[in-house]
Amino acid sequence: MSRTLAIRGGTIIDSTGTRRSDVVVGPDGSVLAVGPGLDADDSLDASGCVVAPGFVDLHVHLREPGREEAETIESGARGAALGGFTAVLAMPNTTPTVDCAPMVTEVLELGRDTACDVRTSGAITVGRRGKALAPMAEMVRAGVRLFTDDGSGVQDDRLMRTALEYAGSLSHLTGGRPIVLAQHCEVEALSEGSLMHEGRVSSSLGIPGQPAEAEELMVMRDIAMSRLTGGRIHFQHLSTAGSVAMVRAAKAAGLPITAEATTHHFTLLDECCASFDPVFKVHPPLRTDADVQAIKQGLADGTIDAIATDHAPHTSHDKDRTFADAPPGMLGLETAFALANTELDLPIEDILALMSWRPAVIAGLDPVHGGPIAVGGAANIVVIDPEMEWVVSGEAMASRSTNTPYEGRKVKGKVRHTILRGQPVVVDGDAQR
Ligand code: DOR
């Protein structure tokens, strides 16, 4: 395709500010013109809509290779595009684990012509078993910028220290761009056997819980590790008030720390588990209202840098089991913006920062993703109608799985169009790939 495309009648919001303007993008994947009254070979209507840099999700499980019945890189990328994401960072807990360069290359190849720019993280330890460091340098050469054992945290203090020191020594391979270690904070000695958050609700249900401290002790340790090594740590899916407070203090002390929160941790409570519906089972678990309020405050005051989805598809065969036997995780890609827009009392500019340009910087994807919409910039763009109401349906999603905890929920804010490298991949809410 060698046609130009005009996005007409919208309001651009990016990291430089807000203005009413049309945008023309070209087949070379760049922005050709920004201004009033623009025309091109084709056009997309954006009247009443916000035109912004595409969203970047730091945390998705795409299940390929190994669990293609739950999701593939192609179906996950399509769901991401429908959710307004132009880039996603896949987690390495596939089968086999993404813990070496050939696995990184395989995932990147599978994502090449999909509806979203699919990048991958690499495991910190071999097989995510927490015993030996994975070959991080070869994975950096293959394109990895963020490492994590997500699904579990690195339990061994000494290994975590070594990983931070090693990662810090690899930035010569990336032209000085930092390599980030991301942590799923969970002390297994405290969480083992748990199915939900430990507190009043778990006691009354008789479901074994894990205390907030299972997360907080590892946040505390890793803050200490960052202080010791100077290493850069990104905290994944923060879920407790205590964690938010510690990250706030560590940032104030100048440590190189960033953090994300998932949509479910600011929209759902541990009380949801009283239904015994495994769709509400997730790691870290849904917490209390006080925790939800603290996450919202952290998002509002900049303590938490990014909204991530932790999109975790599971087949109905796996998820429709007892609460004890079902795997943890829930879908997130196609509902994230609407939930943030509906549930957070924040200006849309702040929501876009949390979903686009701030996570893009953490993943090392800026300015190709998250960069300002300006002539010569990359044309990775989302067009959103912030006022449009719709009802969530798992069946209607592009994901191969249907485990959304928001089934039937009315939300406000819909992705109308998504443009990837100058090509429309979602038009009027319909996927084109
Ligand atoms: O709920 C979760 N599901 N938390 C994780 O850390 C892993 C994820 C998965 O892979 O299903």
Write the DSSP assignment of 169-218 as a string of letters.
T-GGGGTTPPPEEEE----HHHHTT--EE-SHHHHHHT--EE-HHHHHHH
Residue 2: per-residue pLDDT = 78
CB contact at 8 A, 362 and 258: yes
Residue 1: per-residue pLDDT = 56
User: Going from the N-terminus, what domains does the chain have, and what CATH number goes with each?
Assistant: 5-50+377-431 (2.30.40.10), 55-363 (3.20.20.140)
Average pLDDT of span 47-71 = 98
**Is there an atom of ligand 1 within 6 Å of 84 CB?**
no
Average pLDDT of span 211-228 = 98
**Is there an atom of ligand 1 within 6 Å of 283 CB?**
yes
* pTM score of the predicted model: 0.98
- Which atom of ligand 1 lies closest to the CA of 328? 1
- Residue 382: CA count within 13 A, CB half-sphere: 32
Angle at the Cα of 308 (from 306 to 313), degrees rounded to 5?
A: 175
Give 282 Cα–ligand 1 centroid separation in angstroms: 7
* Greatest Cα pair distance in the chain: 63
Q: Percent of the chain having pLDDT more than 70?
A: 100
Which pLDDT band holds residue 171 (cuts at 50, 70, 90)? confident
Instruction: Report whether pLDDT(367) > 80.
Output: yes
CB contact at 8 A, 128 and 100: no
* Cα gap 360→308, rounded to integer Å: 11
Q: State the CB neighbour count (10 A cutoff) for residue 37.
A: 9
**Is there an atom of ligand 1 within 6 Å of 81 CB?**
no
- Which atom of ligand 1 lies closest to the CA of 61? 10
- pLDDT tens profile 133-167: 999 999 999 999 999 999 999 999 999 999 999 99
Give 327 Cα–ligand 1 centroid separation in angstroms: 8
**Is there an atom of ligand 1 within 6 Å of 61 CB?**
yes
Give 77 Cα–ligand 1 centroid separation in angstroms: 18
8: closest CA among 48, 54, 43?
A: 43
Q: State the CB neighbour count (10 A cutoff) for residue 72.
A: 20
State yes or no: is 366 an active-site residue. no
Looking at residue 55, its amino acid is F
List 310, 318, 366, 385, catalytic entry: 310
